[in-house]
Amino acid sequence: MAAELSVDEAVERAMRAQEVRIESIRALAKGRQSLADVKTDAAQKLAALERENAEQISAAERDDVRLYSAATKAGWTADELRKIGFDEPLKAARVRRKRSSVPAVADGDHAPHAGAQ
Residues 6+ apart with CB under 8 A from 75: none
The reply to whether 92 falls in a domain is yes
Domain count, the chain: 1
pLDDT confidence of residue 103: 56
pLDDT confidence of residue 90: 84
The reply to whether 111 falls in a domain is no
- pLDDT tier, 15 (very low <50, low <70, confident <90, very high otherwise): very high
Kindly report the pTM of this predicted structure: 0.55
Q: Comparing C-alpha atoms, which of 93, 26, 104 is closest to residue 65?
A: 93
pLDDT confidence of residue 1: 45
Q: What is the DSSP letter of 107?
A: T
pLDDT value at 11 more than 90: yes
pLDDT value at 93 more than 70: no
* Of 90 and 89, more confident: 89
Q: Distances in Å between the alpha carbon of 21 and those of 7, 8, 29, 39, 64?
A: 21, 20, 13, 27, 64
Structural domain boundaries, residue 29: 8-99
The reply to whether 116 falls in a domain is no
* Of 112 and 15, more confident: 15
